[in-house]
Every structure is written in C-alpha cells, then in structure tokens.
Amino acid sequence: MTETAFKMKLKPGCRDEYIRRHNEIWPELKLLLKETGIKDYSIYLDEETNILFAVQKVEGNASSQELGNNPVVKKWWKFMADIMETNPDFSPVSVPLLNVFHID
C-alpha cells in the first residue's frame, strides 16, 4: 500500500459548502474510489489559507489524481469548480507533496 498527499485550494467563503458536498459525496464516486484501490482518503482544511491537504492510501498503482478520464470524476470536478481553484478542464489545481517524515 502506498500513501500520497497533495494540496488544493478552496475559494474564500466556501468552507461550509465544501464540507456539505463531501458529506453528501455521490455513491458512484465513492464506489469508484474504492474499486480503484483507494482505501483511506482524508482531506483537511487550513482555515487561515484555504489550503486543502489531502492524504490517501492506495492499494495498487492508481490514485484519485489519475481518474480524470472517468465520466463520474469529470462530473464531480465540474460540480466542485465553483468553490475551488481549478484548471481549464475543471480538475482541481493539485500540487503533490513530498513526504519528508513518517513514523508508525
């Protein structure tokens, strides 16, 4: 199992809406993530900077960042585009993070 981390940016004033949408995550998206091998996925918000920090544990070689061709993911990206910084294809602007320390 591998672990990946990345950051994204929430638009100002969108905290509650972001949380609401994720509390109501679409069942088909949740199933897709599980079928892709994503077993543990958390997103944290730094409320001072609106930076979202995501961590996911993945069995296999895929990650949520590699599902951009899936119609469900494209639909989710478009749904979230009004509250996040996005690329022209509506994918969230996402920056991979380097793991510099880990302890079990």
**45, β-bridge pairs:** 52
Q: Domain boundaries in the chain? A: 2-96
pLDDT in tens, the chain (104 residues): 888 999 999 999 999 999 999 999 999 999 999 998 988 999 999 999 999 999 999 887 666 666 888 999 999 999 999 999 999 999 999 999 999 998 98
Q: Which of 2, 3, 19, 22 is catalytic?
A: 22
Question: Is-catalytic flag, 22?
Answer: yes
pTM value is 0.89
What residues contact residue 42 under an 8 Å CB cut-off, 6+ apart?
54, 55, 56
CATH T-level assignment (fold) for domain 2-96: Alpha-Beta Plaits (3.30.70)
Reported as type and span, the H/E element at residue 30 is helix 27-36
